[in-house]
Amino acid sequence: MIKKEHEFILNAVLIEKNEEEINYINKALDKQIDWIEVVGIAMNHRLGGYFYNGLTKEQRTKIPRELKKNIEMLVYGQAVNQEKMYKYINELNDILENCNIRYAGLKGIIYGACLYTKGTRRSNDMDLLVHEEDLEQLDAILSSAGYIQAKKKEGKLIEASRKEKLIQRMNYHDLIPYMKETDDGIIEIDINFLFDGKDNLIDSKVFDIGTRVYNGEQYSFRGLEIDTNLAFLICHFYREATGEIWVNNKRNLIIYKIVDMVNFIRHFEKHMNTEKLIKLFKELNIIEKALYSFLTIQKFYNQEFINEIIECISSNYNDIYQKYVNNHVFEKYFEDSFSLGK
């Protein structure tokens, strides 16, 4: 049975809550809560802003004063950082929209446009997916805008050598980040050129499906189509949930990525169709990764749309489903996630 503090925070971090979820939070606040554990989970999982902004002003009054003050400082710091980033996001958008480059914003740059209010999510860089054939053109464009491929050392930028750039590109799915020093600090752009992995080269197919503009109050930015963006989040989650480096240092257990996927689905569910999604996952050769991701999500959020996707995959790809149906890895992931930091 899920602990009440865990269920409370999982409900609090959701966007666009329904009446049942709002009532649950209000009832939970009327009972005794281990606030140290709640706030500890929020901080360990990078959910402090999600948690605070997910509560109403009245609900926040129930948080003990010192803990509330700590969370407010975090949210304020994240909001200030985001304010600074808006200028550079808009600048990047203007540059890329006027170039003949296949690109799409990823993760935080899209969430900030359409999902989350200011201060909710920590985001220190701008993530892009760029077609590998367009990387040289992109390099020239970013260089003219003052960016260099570099690493940080003692607060300063050290430009990467040609050899370092080549090794990164040959061995990973991304490039050494592009950075520039500004009055607002170091601005960083992370360039991904693989949608999935080197064993599943589907990037041309992804860009052929198309892109769309995600509009927000502070900026607009081009991203992947809604279904394709969800497919990317699945690939990203699967890579980090199962990758040896992530597992060994327990970074695979940080659940803000699960919350992001659930909130993205909640916001865009009216534009999604289960059968169409499964067809896309098949076309992109990520059925198993999708099933793994949604079975993990289901342990945290037992919601109708997520259950429908799992049911559709199990009906059409029973051989893959049978690999996981009695697998306890998902229960262990849930338990280990809430033990993180203890």
What confidence category does residue 174 fall into, taking pLDDT thresholds of 50, 70 and 90?
confident
Which of 341, 270, 216, 298 has the alpha carbon at shortest distance from 16? 270
Q: What is the pLDDT of residue 230?
A: 98
Q: Round to whole Å and give the CA distance between 88 and 93.
A: 8
Q: Round to whole Å and give the CA distance between 42 and 13.
A: 9
Q: Round to whole Å and give the CA distance between 100 and 313.
A: 37
Q: Strand pairing partners for 142? A: none
Query: Which residues of 39-118 form beta strands (DSSP E)?
Result: 103-106
Q: In what order do the strands lie in the sheet with 103-106?
A: 156-159, 148-153, 178-182, 185-192, 126-130, 103-106, 220-224, 211-215
What confidence category does residue 156 fall into, taking pLDDT thresholds of 50, 70 and 90?
confident
Q: What is the CA radius of gyration of the chain?
A: 21
Q: Are strands 185-192 and 126-130 parallel, antiparallel or unpaired?
A: parallel
pLDDT, tens digit, 9 for 90 and up, residues 158-172: 999 999 999 898 888
Burial call 136-168: b when 16+ CB within 10 Å, e when fewer:
eebbebbeeeebbbbeeeeeebeebeeeeeeeb
Q: What is the pLDDT of residue 342?
A: 66
pLDDT, tens digit, 9 for 90 and up, residues 11-61: 999 999 999 999 999 999 999 999 999 999 999 999 999 999 999 999 999
DSSP letter string, 188-215: EEEEE--SS-TTS--HHHHHHH-EEEEE
- At residue 111, what is the residue type? Y
Q: Residue range 72-101: average pLDDT? A: 94
In the predicted model, is pLDDT for residue 183 greater than 80? Answer: yes
Q: What is the pLDDT of residue 150?
A: 95
As its CATH architecture, domain 80-224 has 2-Layer Sandwich (3.30)
Reported pTM:
0.95
Which of 131, 111, 113, 133 has the alpha carbon at shortest distance from 121? 111
User: What residues contact residue 323 under an 8 Å CB cut-off, 6+ apart?
Assistant: 288
Q: Strand pairing partners for 105? A: 128, 223
Residue 265 near residue 306, CB atoms below 8 Å: yes
Q: Round to whole Å and give the CA distance between 67 and 333.
A: 27
Q: What is the pLDDT of residue 263?
A: 98
What's the DSSP call for residue 255? T
pLDDT, tens digit, 9 for 90 and up, residues 106-117: 999 999 999 999
Q: What is the pLDDT of residue 249?
A: 87
260/218: higher pLDDT:
260
Helices (H), 249-328: 256-268, 274-283, 287-300, 304-316, 318-324
In the predicted model, is pLDDT for residue 325 greater than 90? Answer: no
328/274: higher pLDDT:
274
